Homo-oligomer: A and B are copies of this chain.
Amino acid sequence: MAENKTGVKKRLPLEGITVIDFSRVLSGPYCAMTLADLGARVIKIERVGTGDDTRAFGPFVDDESAYFMCFNRGKESIALDFKSPRDRELLDRLLDKADVVVENFRPGVMARLGYGAEQLARTHPHIVYASISGFGHTGPFKDLPGYDTVVQAMGGVMSLTGWPDTQPARVGTAFGDLGAALFAVIGILAGLYKRSRDAQGTHVDIAMLDCQAALMETAFARFDVEEKVPTRTGDAHPSLAPFESFAAGDGRFIIAAGNDQLFLLMADALGVPEVALDPLFLTNDLRVQNRGAMIEAIERVTRAASVSAWLDKLNEAGVPCAPINTIDKVIDHPQLLARNMFIQVQGKSERKVKTAGNPIKMNTSPDEDVTVVRRAPAVDEHREAILAELMASSGAYTSQADSESGDDELERSTGLAA
């Protein structure tokens, strides 16, 4: 909890919430990371020895995965062997303290381990249990493996991404995983809110493919109404113009002036007010129809000066525009820095890794900037601390533990399993 200048106490909205995170790779870890950024305590359950698969994904910092560090900052780690009765007992005790479970195994895996949503609904009915999978826990495809590129291809976004004269392109970030992660966070928070009113948990079943469909904007409606299959439009918006890149003397930049008033302002700012009066370009619909001619008319002017000169002129006139930034520019972007959008993550070594921070800015929450260093855990790093904590509170749990083992034995045996 922090206090700001005006004396308002700031605290994160999920303080006090405990998440047991069985997930690995990207969608589940990103979901749990978002909950951690909102103040939840996240205890990551890892495979004994190697831990999360992404610990083997590059790039590496002193043999440690920067990929893993990005999405597991601020979490605790404990490695559990599901075949060990002692580890299972420890897990049962952790679940007694849990508000949320996140997992992204294929449907059926958690149930076979004994920790499926239906099983926990009986033993821990207060838990909000989120499953993320490629295709969800129902339907004919439920047992197939789903990966980011698989659902990007199957769900349609690839068919809409890239230039018309090239093969479909993948969205240049893990749109399949991250879309599902965000809808999972929404389902979990909706479940927690519901629980605050009816004291009951819920099972949230998120399919990456479903989320792709939900994020296709108007593509289905356009097909349904126009009976034409939407396709790739390069960098242009399919139904707004100008809403694409134009050539300057030293590169390309975006003008997004999709309504008539902005088009008028744009033509003025470019010094060719007559372009806005051309009967070919009078309305957005006309400009979409005559896009080629419009691009020609605009580039006849824009080629004569630099990207930065045009951006200055257009910004001054209030016309939406942008450079096409590469990642080295984005990481130093003054607006993102002013918004505290970068933080640093540190693993075992001294070397820190820069990554994006939390975009959910709440006036009631403290915010973290790039000077903040968040820890990413080593496999099983928090075993001792978690055991000590469970033992300290064991009085509250012995009745539920259903075991003959005392606390000493629990400590000894789970220690062996690591």
Residues of A within 8 A of B (CB): 13-14, 26, 34, 38, 53, 57-61, 66-67, 69-70, 117, 134-136, 138-142, 144-151, 153-163, 166-175, 178-179, 182-183, 185-187, 189-194, 196-197, 200, 202-207, 209-211, 213-226, 229-237, 239, 243-245, 252-254, 256, 258-259, 285, 315, 318-331, 333-336, 338-339, 341-342, 353-365
13 contacts between A and B (CB under 8 A): A57-B239, A58-B285, A145-B319, A153-B254, A153-B324, A171-B171, A174-B217, A189-B189, A205-B361, A205-B362, A207-B359, A210-B339, A213-B330
Further pairs besides A154-B323, A220-B342: 11, Cβ < 8 Å: A13-B190, A59-B225, A61-B225, A66-B221, A144-B315, A149-B244, A155-B330, A169-B169, A170-B233, A182-B182, A224-B353
Give Cα distance in the complex from A3 to B237, angstroms: 43
Give Cα distance in the complex from A31 to B221, angstroms: 19
- Which B residues touch A334, using CB under 8 A? 139-141
For the complex of A and B, 9 pairs with smallest distance between CB atoms: A160-B172, A139-B338, A189-B189, A13-B194, A161-B172, A210-B359, A141-B335, A13-B190, A196-B196
- Which B residues touch A173, using CB under 8 A? 157, 160, 215-217, 219
A24 CB to nearest B CB, Å: 12
Tell me whether A59 and B235 are in contact in the complex, defined as CB-CB below 8 angstroms, given that A147-B256, A186-B186, A330-B216 are known contacts. no
A157 CB to nearest B CB, Å: 6
Give Cα distance in the complex from A325 to B151, angstroms: 10
Question: Which residue on chain B has the smallest CB distance to residue A353?
Answer: B221
Give Cα distance in the complex from A175 to B236, angstroms: 13
A278 CB to nearest B CB, Å: 21
Decide: A167 and B163 in contact? CB cutoff 8 A. Answer: yes
Give Cα distance in the complex from A173 to B156, angstroms: 10
- Which B residues touch A158, using CB under 8 A? 172, 235, 324
Out of B145, B230, B335, which one reaches A327, CB within 8 Å? B230
- Which B residues touch A356, using CB under 8 A? 213-216, 220
Decide: B325 and A156 in contact? CB cutoff 8 A. Answer: yes
- Which B residues touch A203, using CB under 8 A? 362-364
Out of B169, B207, B259, which one reaches A339, CB within 8 Å? B207
Tell me whether A169 and B234 are in contact in the complex, defined as CB-CB below 8 angstroms, given that A202-B362, A324-B158 are known contacts. yes
Tell me whether A213 and B341 are in contact in the complex, defined as CB-CB below 8 angstroms, given that A194-B13, A233-B170, A234-B170 are known contacts. yes
Out of B151, B156, B166, which one reaches A166, CB within 8 Å? B166
A26 CB to nearest B CB, Å: 8
Decide: B138 and A339 in contact? CB cutoff 8 A. Answer: yes
- Which B residues touch A357, using CB under 8 A? 214
Decide: A178 and B215 in contact? CB cutoff 8 A. Answer: yes
Decide: A245 and B14 in contact? CB cutoff 8 A. Answer: no
Decide: A186 and B187 in contact? CB cutoff 8 A. Answer: no
A320 CB to nearest B CB, Å: 4
- Which B residues touch A151, using CB under 8 A? 322
Out of B153, B244, B328, which one reaches A322, CB within 8 Å? B153
Give Cα distance in the complex from A318 to B364, angstroms: 47
Decide: A320 and B225 in contact? CB cutoff 8 A. Answer: no
A67, A162, A185, A354 pick with most chain B CB within 10 angstroms: A162
Out of B159, B193, B229, which one reaches A14, CB within 8 Å? B193
Decide: B59 and A361 in contact? CB cutoff 8 A. Answer: no
Question: Which residue on chain B has the smallest CB distance to residue A69?
Answer: B221
- Which B residues touch A327, using CB under 8 A? 156, 159-160, 216, 219-220, 222-223, 229-230
